[in-house]
Structures are given as structure tokens and as C-alpha cells.
A and B are shown apart, each in its own frame.
Chain A
Amino acid sequence: MSKFTENVVSEITKDYIKKLLEKGTRLDGRTADEYRKIEVQRNFIPRADGSALVKIGKTQVLVGVKVEKGPPFPDTPNLGILATNAELVPLASPTFEPGPPGEEAIELARVVDRGIREGKVIDLEKLVIKENELVWVVFADIHVLDYDGNLFDASSLATMIALLNTKVPAKRNDLGEDFNLPINHIAVANTFVKIGDNIVVDPNLDEENIATARITVSTTEDGKVHAIQKGLEGSFTYEEILNTIDSAKRIGKDIRENIISGVD
């Protein structure tokens, strides 16, 4: 009895989800391009330099940011450093095991990191203390607390919000006054999955389990696409990818306006 029951999707559920999608609706009554309810709590960890708790439906992700000084990478002596790490703790799902990060956790951290890095979200040039010798290193640690699908979007959103309220602890390090982490852009990641011939945004766990292909599109407020990650063995057509990019721009704008810069 080695199998996990959570890994087995019931055939009935699979057929039902497909049937509902053909009628234009989903298990929880959403339309194809509708997100679950997003809740945000800023500065959730008082002792971190920046943090945020994000809930998308029942998925829950906590991100803590730590800023420390350290030597720059030899190939980028005049840039600060961003390091993203993700952990899938057993608390979040019966299928997560303790131990070093696995494939899933590494992919999650990389997708979040890519969206933020390629979107030039943090002004890394302003994080140099002394060129070639000392820069600020920003550690963003993603902790998944509850897994009900779509970790990519929840983690990206939580990381973005945590960075937005991060203070660089200069005073603690005898380097002058604390200052807000310099942010240039606001990146939002939107994940779509393909079920049958339908494409839906923000998949929940059941939808994620039966999806044949997944694509995560990361955009910034100027309408530019900075990162795309495709997952699973299925394929998208050229039109489908263009459509997801259009949707990502539209939904990303909505999330930026209503969630990120919304009420504190």
C-alpha cells in the first residue's frame, strides 16, 4: 500500500470537471479566467525584514525576506544579489515529504525568481555597498503552508508583496539609516493549465492533477512579458500561448491594481 490516495484522481471527478468546462464553468463555480479569492497579509512576520502571507482559495504561502551584506558574485561586482528558495513542508500536503528541496520545490523557486529577476523588479544596482567588495544580499524564502493548487501564482504574489515592504537593515549593520528596498517594477505571475481542450487560470488541486499542460506567464505593469515557464508533458498551440499571454496581461493588471497596490 505504497500509493498516496491524494495522488489518485477519481475518474468520476476527472470526467465531471471536463463536462463542466464544456459548459463554461468549473468545480467551484468560477469561469475559465477567474481567480479564487485572494487574501493578503503584509508584514506577517514582525522580525523579518519583509514578509507576506498570501491565500488563494485554500492555498496558503508565507514568504519571508532577509537582507544581509555579503560579497558580490565575481561576474557582477556592481549588482546586489537576489536568492530565492522554496520549501514544501509536509504540513502543507500529505504528498510533501521532509528533506532537501525536490524537483517541485526547485522549479517553484526558479519560476518565482525568474519572474522577479527578469522583470528587473529590484534595482540591484542600488544595493551595492562597496563595488567589488560588499553588496546587499536579498534572501526570499517561500514557505508553502497549505497546498490546494497554483503554488506558482501564490508564491510569486507573496514574494512580490514581501519585497515591496522590505526594509534594508542598514542601521543594524552600521551603514547609515534603514531604507526601503528599491523596487522598479511590479511583476505578477499567472498560471494556466490545459484540461482537455480548455484552458483555465488559477487551477485548484483537482484541476492541477488532471491537467495535461501548464504555462506560467510573468508580466510587469508596462505590459511586458518577462518570463514564461511551460510544464507537464502536454502541448499548447501557437494561438493558445498568445491567448494566455493576453489573459495574463489583463489579469495581471487587475491583480496589480486591486491586490498589490490595494488596501494595506
Chain B
Amino acid sequence: MENSNIREIVLPGDMVDLQGNKPGTGIYMEDGKAYSEILGVKTVRSGYVNIIPLTGRYHPQKGDKVIGKVIDVLPSNWVLDINAPYLAPLHVNETSWKIDFGDTGKFLNIGDTVLAKIMSVNEVKQVWLTMKEQGLRKLEGGHIISVSPTKVPRIIGKEGSMIKMLKETTNTKIYIGQNGVIWIDGETDNILKVVGAIRMIEREAHTIGLTDRIKEYLNKS
């Protein structure tokens, strides 16, 4: 694997060699052997073998920062689409605004975009959002694009290396929601450049040496 340019891809039911590590996410055990549950990429991190899905919808987790689109306004709630299997409500009490009952539409309206945090997820994956934290706000201007949520770690890069490079070379502001929605603000030409780079990361996420190629792409154009 070390010599190959591609990470190991496993199919559901494929036997996974744990190499002395513990089974992590995306793995089930049978007769003492480990098998993959999903189509994904095998990764080993801090003593666990995880299968990272190649594709799929966003599965909300408590504490994730996500970017959502307001699709309905209710007297004391907004309904947000966060690219998850279910829509997510945001209650007026979970914002820093002081809102009278029924005045929700004055603060956020249909079509607005919000950076929010997942406050809780219950056992049937119903989600509650919150905006009560510094930095969580309504997003204005710029551009939003969607990528597969499974590619988000790759776009952020190791300790934020990829996203830092994108921001610095193009002089843009970028927020990446864990749900795969990305907000980019800056000069139009720079936004287009970032979008191009992100699409390239998306396509080549499973290959090694991607950061260098992205650097090349950004410097070239």
C-alpha cells in the first residue's frame, strides 16, 4: 500500500486486515474476522481501522458546524436544509437575537444561508441546531457550493493545511460545513479559482500527493 499511489478501496463484505489495530467505523466482526460494511477507503488512525465511505449523504453529529439553507419560517422556528436525511429546526432561543413571537421572518428568511452548529441528534437522527456560539451567523455575499460530505476532511487537509493554502493563495474567506456545503467569499475570479481547486480535490480525493498538485494548480492560474 505504501508504494501505491491510490489508497486501498474496499467493498461491502470485503475482509479487512486489521494489522493488529482495533476495528473502528464501517467495520463489522464475524467469526473473529473484520469485514467492511460499506464501499469506502481503508484508513488506519491512532490504533483504529476505519472505513471512510466514498460517497453518501451527511450524517449529523453533535458539535458539527454546518451550513444550512432556510427553507421555511415558522412562528418560533426556522426550518433548515443541512443536506442530511432530515430537515433541521433552529429555534429562536438558540440565536443571539432578541425576537418577539412571530417575528422570525425579520431575522432570517427563506433562501438565507446560515452557519450553525448541531446541538443535539437523537436516536432517530432528528437534529436541533444552535447559533449560540461565537462565529455562528448568517452568511451574506460570496458563493456556496456543495461537495460530498465524505470529501470534507480532504478539503480541510491535515491540520487545515489544504484550506489554509486555498485561503492564502487566493485571498478569500472560506467556511466549510461538515455537511459538505462550502461558503467562499472574495473577488469573483478568486472564487472561481477556489471552486476549480475544490472540484479537483473532490475528483482526486483518494490519491496521494494531492496537496502538491493543488498548489501547482493554484499557482498556474
Task: Please give the residue numbers on chain A whose beta carbons come within 8 Å of chain B beta carbons, in ascending order.
Answer: 1-5, 8-16, 19-20, 23, 29
Contacts and interface: CB of A to CB of B under 8 A. Distances in A.
Given A8-B71, A10-B144, A1 B188 contact: no
Contacts of A23: 188
Nearest to A19: B188
A13 B142 CA distance: 8
Residue among A2, A13, A29 facing the most chain B CB atoms (10 A cut-off): A13
B56 interface: no
25 contacts: A2-B72, A3-B72, A3-B110, A4-B71, A5-B81, A5-B87, A8-B70, A8-B111, A10-B69, A10-B113, A10-B144, A11-B111, A11-B112, A11-B140, A12-B139, A12-B140, A12-B141, A12-B142, A12-B143, A12-B183, A13-B143, A13-B144, A15-B141, A16-B191, A20-B188
A11 B140 CA distance: 8
Interface in B49-75: 69-72
B81 A16 contact: no
Interface of B: 69-72, 79, 81, 87, 110-113, 139-144, 183, 188, 191-192
A5 B72 CA distance: 9
B212 to A, nearest CB: 25
A16 B143 contact: yes
Contacts of B142: 12, 16
Contacts, number: 49
A5 B141 contact: no
Contacts of A2: 72
A3 B71 contact: yes
Contacts of A13: 143-144
Contacts of B191: 16
A3 B71 CA distance: 7
Given A11-B112, A12-B183, A1 B141 contact: no
Given A3-B71, A3-B79, A15-B141, A8 B188 contact: no
A8 B71 CA distance: 6
Across the A-B interface, the 5 shortest Cβ-Cβ residue pairs:
A5-B81, A16-B143, A11-B111, A8-B71, A3-B72
Given A12-B142, A12-B183, A5 B69 contact: yes
A121 B50 CA distance: 60
A8 B110 contact: yes
Contacts of A11: 111-113, 140
